[in-house]
């Protein structure tokens, strides 16, 4: 009798608790959201000290970011490069690298696209051929740029965080060097730029919207990279390397290949963002490419916990904050750096919240004996 009845209560007790997987997911969503709420509170206190109303601020963000179909489209437009920049940080992060050079890959990719467009446009190559060539150039340039950092990290032991930032500054200097010299359009007097690619070569908006195709490209890439990182052998090996590079090497994984490939993919994402900035927004390469997307992408990736799919909604949120920036400047008379302060606070609070993982009882599976 006793032998028969003893095991039966256990499943009944467990059915009340969600699985470990669900709990982990809930934790990974709850803690960043909690960090966002705390950041909003901290920022409210900051605004109160300045004699500004936090309610005004957040309602303006809502109106400017999501309030109307127009503001939605503005937010999505700005989210496009942010998704790609977020991916450019997230993919190397999964393999254990803190690669903060997306800004440089974006700038150089955009510049590469604009530079290759000059001969193509001059000889009137059809846009259908020119645009893919521009995009490929941008991705190749960006990929090489971040790939170099990955190679230096793995084969030379150079710290990738500092190296990638230095390469960012070098990338911006390279663009300035050409834009102010060899490739300067003589007509661009005040703001040195490359030759404009012209209206016929611009990437238009997606049907029914005013949002350019970069958003679609970003979302598709996010899905593809999510599948690559979670559902393939390559992704498994990459995440394992991120967990413990030495153990992976001992297991015979091609760690160097994995590291460099992830970096090239990341750089290609950033380069593609630069391509869309040139082909859809500016029409030429100039200092406007240096807009800080690469750095916002770092924060987006941390908030998305380096999950390629989660990068998309987070990037849209930050696109909305950026889109509402102008409204906040006009209505509240606050400087454009307000958004930077908000981002800085979110970043610091978010990283502080990392220490909460595994410490909130609710999200923990029961003792070993009760685990499913």
Q: Which residues bind another protein (CB under 8 A)?
A: 98, 100, 152, 156-159, 161-163, 165-167, 169-170, 173-174, 176-177, 180-181, 295, 298-299, 302, 335, 337-338, 340-345, 347-348, 350-352, 354-355, 357-358
Query: Between 40 and 341, whose beta carbon lies closer to another protein?
Result: 341
Query: Between 31 and 139, whose beta carbon lies closer to another protein?
Result: 31
Nearest approach, Cβ of 159 to another protein (angstroms)?
A: 5
Nearest approach, Cβ of 345 to another protein (angstroms)?
A: 7
Nearest approach, Cβ of 351 to another protein (angstroms)?
A: 5
Residue pair 242/95 in contact by the 8 Å Cβ criterion:
yes
Nearest approach, Cβ of 225 to another protein (angstroms)?
A: 21
Query: Between 72 and 302, whose beta carbon lies closer to another protein?
Result: 302
Contacts of 206 (CB under 8 A, 6+ apart): 212, 213, 215, 216
Residue pair 113/279 in contact by the 8 Å Cβ criterion:
yes
Query: Between 23 and 158, whose beta carbon lies closer to another protein?
Result: 158
Here the tokens at position 181 are 């010299």
Nearest approach, Cβ of 267 to another protein (angstroms)?
A: 16
Query: Between 276 and 295, whose beta carbon lies closer to another protein?
Result: 295
CA 302 to CA 77: how far, in whole Å? 21
If one counts every other C-beta atom within 10 angstroms of the C-beta of residue 53, the result is 14
**Which is it for the CA torsion 238, 243, 245, 248, positive or negative?**
negative
Cα dist from 188 to 84, 180, 283, whole Å: 29, 10, 13
Residue pair 102/315 in contact by the 8 Å Cβ criterion:
no
């Amino acid at each position: 009798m006793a032998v028969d009845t003893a095991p039966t209560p256990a499943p009944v007790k467990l059915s009340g608790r969600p699985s470990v997987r669900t709990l982990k997911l809930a934790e990974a969503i709850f803690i960043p959201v909690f960090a966002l709420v705390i950041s909003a509170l901290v920022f409210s206190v900051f605004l109160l000290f300045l004699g500004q109303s936090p309610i005004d601020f957040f309602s303006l963000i809502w109106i400017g970011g999501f309030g109307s179909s127009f503001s939605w489209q503005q937010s999505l437009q700005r989210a496009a490069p942010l998704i790609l920049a977020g991916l450019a940080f997230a993919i190397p992060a999964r393999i254990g690298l803190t690669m903060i050079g997306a800004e440089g890959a974006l700038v150089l990719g955009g510049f590469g696209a604009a530079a290759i467009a000059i001969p193509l446009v001059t000889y009137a190559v059809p846009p259908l051929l020119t645009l893919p060539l521009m995009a490929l150039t941008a991705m190749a340039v960006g990929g090489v740029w971040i790939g170099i950092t990955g190679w230096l990290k793995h084969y030379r032991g150079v710290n990738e965080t500092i190296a990638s930032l230095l390469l960012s500054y070098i990338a911006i200097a390279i663009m300035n060097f050409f834009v102010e010299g060899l490739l300067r359009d003589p007509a661009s007097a005040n703001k040195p730029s490359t030759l404009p690619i012209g209206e016929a070569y611009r990437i238009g908006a997606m049907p029914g919207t005013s949002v350019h195709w970069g958003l679609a490209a970003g979302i598709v890439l996010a899905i593809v990279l999510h599948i690559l990182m979670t559902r393939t052998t390559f992704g498994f090996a990459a995440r394992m390397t991120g967990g413990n590079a030495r153990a992976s090497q001992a297991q015979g994984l091609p760690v160097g290949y994995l590291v460099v490939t992830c970096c090239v993919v990341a750089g290609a994402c950033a380069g593609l963002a630069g391509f869309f900035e040139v082909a859809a927004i500016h029409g030429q390469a100039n200092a406007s490419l240096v807009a800080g997307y690469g750095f916002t992408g770092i924060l987006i990736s941390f908030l998305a916990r380096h999950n390629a799919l989660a990068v998309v909604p987070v990037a849209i949120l930050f696109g909305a904050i950026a889109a509402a920036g102008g409204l906040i400047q006009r209505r509240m008379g606050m400087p454009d750096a307000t958004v930077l302060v908000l981002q800085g606070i979110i970043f610091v609070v978010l990283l502080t919240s990392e220490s909460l993982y595994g410490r909130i009882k609710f999200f923990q599976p029961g003792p070993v004996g009760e685990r499913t």
